[in-house]
Structure 1
Amino acid sequence: MSSNLLEQLRKMTVVVADTGDIQAIAQFKPQDATTNPSLITAAAQMPEYQEIVDQTLLKAKSDLGAGASQEDILTRAFDRLAVAFGLKILEIIPGRVSTEVDARLSYDTEGTIKKAHELIAQYEAAGIAKERILIKIASTWEGIRAAEVLEKEGIHCNLTLLFGIHQAIACAEAGITLISPFVGRILDWYKKDTGRDSYPAAEDPGVLSVTKIYNYYKKFGYKTEVMGASFRNIGEITELAGCDLLTISPQLLTELQGSTTELPRKLDPAKATAMTIEKIAVDKASYDKMHASDRMASEKLDEGIKGFTKALETLEQLLAERLKKLEEKAAVGV
């Protein structure tokens, strides 16, 4: 009997679970796992995780003391919740978990560095070495500069919301551990911009973007790993077989597991090194120029930051409502 697509993929690519659902991670047993504010918000609303949410809220309130504002409690609670889910995930997986910095700090280099230090400190207080954590940061110029500082301190980073080659090159030059180019979101933009309903997998704009980045990295010997993310269908995944890592939702992992067709390797470092590729120098001025001229990358980066910010605000509202209920229970001695 032929092995399924997921088994075949694992022979050439590190498979990462793109979810905050701990049960799904336990089911698929990926090497690594990634989370983001949207995924944490979704997981926090599941009944099976209410105990984690409640404990996190009460601990945040206790840490800050009686005079703390609700805003401070909720900010502390979100960070602690992201770490709490990360700790649960690390009990299951052998590798690393990605934990995201507040999207509202995406253009704040110093704020991002400070927040990363706080997240790492929480993990280390729980006995987790920083080598098992990837700090997720948006691929703004300011975010890349923050990640460069963190990498020099031995804190590994995952640069997310990455849509353009200029972002990828800037990350590689900064010595970033890993990047997450967003395949599906690129496809979404092109479908909307062109009016097309679909693209063949081999012509998918997101697939082509990640392929270009992968080949560029391997051609010039960059150590930064490429992790394709944000998939819309398994065709996008199979076209990137051989990529360093792919982070995949539970739904698409299930589809891969259910198919036994042959999976040829599409991305290969040996082939990339033989390609003729022009090296591009990226500094602040050229980054800004390339970003401004790439409508898709500039629009999707801005949209992604706003989307993650909205998810954070939604989660903070949920946490505020939950905290109120816990306080009411405590007041009546329940």
Structure 2
Amino acid sequence: MTQSALNQLKTLTTIVADSSDLSAIEKFRPLDATTNPSLITAAANQAENKQLIHDAFEQAKTEGYSGDLLIERTIDILTVKFGVEILKLIEGRVSTEVDAALSYDTEATIAKAKELLALYETYGIEQNRILIKIASTWEGIQAAKALEAEGIHCNLTLLFGLHQAQACADANVTLISPFVGRILDWFKKAENVDHYPIDKDPGVLSVKQIFHFYKQHCIKTEIMGASFRSIDQVLGLAGCDLLTVSPNLLEELAQDQREVVAQLSTNHAQAHCQHLVEALTKETFKAQIEHDLMASQLLQSGIDGFIKARDQLSTLLRQSFDLDAEIKA
């Protein structure tokens, strides 16, 4: 009997669920899972998660928070609670994102990461099951460098180019999440093109470039392709360290019967492995990302999008149990 494309892919790549939908995670049983403010907000909108919202708010109140700080603390607790529920369904790690509003503040990012880990600890979750998710700004990467030095593992997200990937390697981060679909979207709009074949897909090619760079330079940081628009993009990166895939695309892969062939090979890429010598400086990093219009625009729009999603979650929390009335009471 022919194996599904999903099962074949799992023999080549670690598949991660890009979702906070607990039912979808339970169905597909990935090794790891990733979350972000948009996914948390979507999950919080589901009726079955109202109790999590209520419990998070009550916990924040008992901790003595009030006013806007009560809402912010509730969001952090709710985010961790979703992570805890996800970890009950998987064997590996969950990525939990630091507030994107802190993306250009190294010290605040470090502090928030430690707050989130402290919350996980109260639920009995070991630190090695958490990846702290941080935007790949210079300041975010430096925060990750400091956290990694303390044994706190990080996932650097909103990554759109080799310059960001090299800076993450210099910082010895655990994992990076180069985006595929958003790069494709940008080029389709910029070049007024409706479709790219997979072998010319700019998002797929970007991840392949990073993969080969990492493997050729003995970089241990894991690469997890993210932000997919189609299963063709996913399969175009078969053999990547990890791929984080949304439930709808996981379902498509489970129904697809095509033969899956590795597109990336660690052994091939490491045939001429050479260690990096020169690390990027802040000035070099900033210059390179400013020169790359696609990367600079997508990084900022991604940060803005996650901030907006957190604001939407704040509004949802206020409305769900008439929190504004409770705050004023």
Please give the TM-score of this superposition, normalised by the length of structure 1.
0.95
Residue 54 of structure 1: how far off its partner (Å): 1.2
**Secondary structure of the corresponding residue to residue 218 of structure 1:** helix
Structure 1 residue 240 corresponds to structure 2 residue 252: no
Residue 62 of structure 1: how far off its partner (Å): 2.0
Alignment check: 8 A CA contact 2:172 2:221 kept: yes
Separation in structure 2 between the aligned mates of residue 281 and residue 133 of structure 1, nearest angstrom: 27
The letter of the residue matching 2:237 is: L
Separation in structure 2 between the aligned mates of residue 100 and residue 220 of structure 1, nearest angstrom: 28
The letter of the residue matching 1:180 is: S
Aligned twin of 2:308: 310
> Which structure 2 residues correspond to residues 1-334 of structure 1 after superposition, within 5 A?
1-64=1-64, 68-69=66-67, 71-274=68-271, 281-324=279-322
Could you list the per-position Cα deviations for residues 2-27 of structure 1 after superposition, in whole angstroms to 9, with x for gaps in the alignment?
A: 11111011101100000010000000
Separation in structure 1 between the aligned mates of residue 199 and residue 274 of structure 2, nearest angstrom: 20
**Secondary structure of the corresponding residue to residue 30 of structure 2:** coil
Distance 1:119-1:227 versus aligned 2 partners, 3 A rule: same
Consecutive unaligned residues of structure 1, counting only runs of 5 or more, are none
Residue 148 of structure 1: how far off its partner (Å): 0.3
Separation in structure 2 between the aligned mates of residue 283 and residue 271 of structure 1, nearest angstrom: 30
Could you list the per-position Cα deviations for residues 166-197 of structure 1 after superposition, in whole angstroms to 9, with x for gaps in the alignment?
A: 00000011100000001000000000100001
Residue 273 of structure 1: how far off its partner (Å): 2.1
Between the aligned residues of both structures, percent identity stands at 53
Could you list the per-position Cα deviations for residues 73-121 of structure 1 after superposition, in whole angstroms to 9, with x for gaps in the alignment?
A: 0110010011000000000000000000000000000000000000000
Could you list the per-position Cα deviations for residues 284-308 of structure 1 after superposition, in whole angstroms to 9, with x for gaps in the alignment?
A: 1111111011000000000000000
Residue 282 of structure 1: how far off its partner (Å): 1.6
Q: Which moved more, 1:211-220 or 1:316-325?
A: 316-325
Q: Which moved more, 1:232-241 or 1:273-282?
A: 273-282
Residue 55 of structure 1: how far off its partner (Å): 1.1
Alignment check: 8 A CA contact 1:5 1:257 kept: yes
Separation in structure 1 between the aligned mates of residue 272 and residue 149 of structure 2, nearest angstrom: 31
Residue 322 of structure 1: how far off its partner (Å): 2.0
Alignment check: 8 A CA contact 1:135 1:157 kept: yes
The letter of the residue matching 1:310 is: K
Query: Number of residues paired by the alignment?
Result: 326
Separation in structure 1 between the aligned mates of residue 324 and residue 141 of structure 2, nearest angstrom: 39
Separation in structure 2 between the aligned mates of residue 307 and residue 130 of structure 1, nearest angstrom: 28
Could you list the per-position Cα deviations for residues 18-41 of structure 1 after superposition, in whole angstroms to 9, with x for gaps in the alignment?
A: 001000000000000000000000
Q: Show structure 1 runs of 4+ deviating over 4 A.
A: 275-281, 325-328
Separation in structure 1 between the aligned mates of residue 231 and residue 274 of structure 2, nearest angstrom: 28
Separation in structure 2 between the aligned mates of residue 236 and residue 169 of structure 1, nearest angstrom: 23
Alignment check: 8 A CA contact 1:187 1:204 kept: yes
Consecutive unaligned residues of structure 2, counting only runs of 5 or more, are none
Please give the TM-score of this superposition, normalised by the length of structure 2.
0.96
Separation in structure 2 between the aligned mates of residue 290 and residue 273 of structure 1, nearest angstrom: 26
> RMSD across aligned C-alpha pairs, in angstroms?
1.6
Separation in structure 1 between the aligned mates of residue 287 and residue 98 of structure 2, nearest angstrom: 26
Separation in structure 1 between the aligned mates of residue 125 and residue 37 of structure 2, nearest angstrom: 21
Separation in structure 1 between the aligned mates of residue 164 and residue 257 of structure 2, nearest angstrom: 36
Distance 1:246-1:88 versus aligned 2 partners, 3 A rule: same
Q: Which moved more, 1:12-21 or 1:266-275?
A: 266-275
The letter of the residue matching 1:12 is: L
Separation in structure 2 between the aligned mates of residue 208 and residue 161 of structure 1, nearest angstrom: 16
Separation in structure 2 between the aligned mates of residue 148 and residue 276 of structure 1, nearest angstrom: 23
The letter of the residue matching 2:87 is: L
Alignment check: 8 A CA contact 1:57 1:323 kept: no
